[in-house]
Structure 1
């Protein structure tokens, strides 16, 4: 299989690189990370460029980019700022629930506003007792006349606090573990919603929240698809989410490794550059090898998806290996920088924080390995 980019793909990558270099430099990223500030200007410019519509079909106003172009996008954005990539990706894959399962009225209300950058979307699945065991949802939705009344507690809802955000929420409508789950749309200003930002060590620009629901009323018109089909709808977007995450870890790791290479070339110790020490250069050679392999896994998965093949195993393989590689590269960078690694102006401590999150966020590595094993025919029992 040939993973070399076409001229069109290379031009797309170059366009993204020039945009990020112009709009999102290192100081911008540091400032927004430190201040926990959403990159609103970049989000709106991405919308103006039509990039938010990458996963939206042309007939609904999008550009319908294929998975390879999407992976290039996530990698290129994250090379400059992983958090900015997360800010864009979260809305992009969450809106897919409306794109593919929403009513014509829901699509008409939400998709144009999303494509203009006026509306953001947050996915709400996890709960205090339903993290990796995602189907263990206890937030309940009870039908009352022409409304559904929701009560419960949600966690790890990224971007739910942002102005203009709508939440796609998974809630229990029946006793069946998977068949009793449904998805609902609600604005973050709905009565009965208490959204609290969590002081996490990563995703500081996007922000992650805990949500408390007390008698939140959602009209029948804001149910997504069919009652009882929510788990299926949520599962459908996971491959795109995990592909984007894997590609973004590759981009972030590329910058972390490049920074380490540059630092060790210029840092003199024992009368010579750190990079000349065998232990340092061998470590970086191993990191370069692993990063190349991680990138190939990402584009192997993306290419299978382009050809219409089921790629859940390949996507999970890419996410696991990319996350572990990014963490190892950031860890080695911390070691090479020594005490300076702790200082924000050197960026390495941010790479380290972000890489650690990659091994848990969007489906923990242990869950990804279970998915891989299942596709290998290895039973869970």
Structure 2
């Protein structure tokens, strides 16, 4: 049984506490809670009937001997330093997404992890536990559909009202969140896109703020280039209503698409399009193929959250690989940084982007 402590007892931590206390996460025992507000800890403990130790000092929790691992749910900018302290204390770490605000801090954290043999550090991108996206990931990465030609994701159903941004002084600010739509709501989809399609080599982006009194973007358009020359498009919005959620991955031997995180359509070509184009005698011939449709249950996001925490516990016990490693969490952050830098510079930016240039531009906004 993995003894877990949670640092930062906000809304998202409340979801995780409820899942663990409700028995929906196997192999995990909640043994400690850490928050600057002791009354808040007491209220949460009473709500869920917890016997977890309460700490208002993070360092005391780390050295208490009460936990084997820490789940960090504090504001974005605190993630790398708190994860580093936990690793240095010999504890396993699961960090809420995004892994941080600055990539160089995450790179330093990665060095610490590499120096601590046997410790696990993962990032809580729970959408990777989705059966639909796991199916598509295995299909694409397994090579059944050939090589990547194009990937397009229209994710414009991330709607947020003024009340959302007013719910916390840190929301909708560069200083509080390190970004807007790309760093928060659409971070999951960008992570899934790089997990399924691989890491792009460059990005050209445009970000904008539409109809909301915030300083960060709530709309973004990314044009991505991949190592083999394939292109990707990522269109995201938190102001459009009704929105669309459609990922389409076109490859040399077929196409796979996911609509609304659940409806998967696979078109499998009988031969590689490149071979067909060279050998087909007809000017307008098309590669024959077969199609199939699968539907996955995506009704409860908490199923994925529970599965992600359980995966972390199993990875600690060396029973499986971590669902999203620190390295992969860093890559997602680098894509976000590259998009912001591209927008600010109004040009294509290589990935990973120069972190010093990103820092200097972000400092002007903060």
Do both proteins adopt the same fold according to a TM-score greater than 0.5, normalized to the shorter chain?
no
The TM-score normalised by the length of structure 1 is: 0.29
Bigger helix fraction: 1
Bigger strand fraction: 2
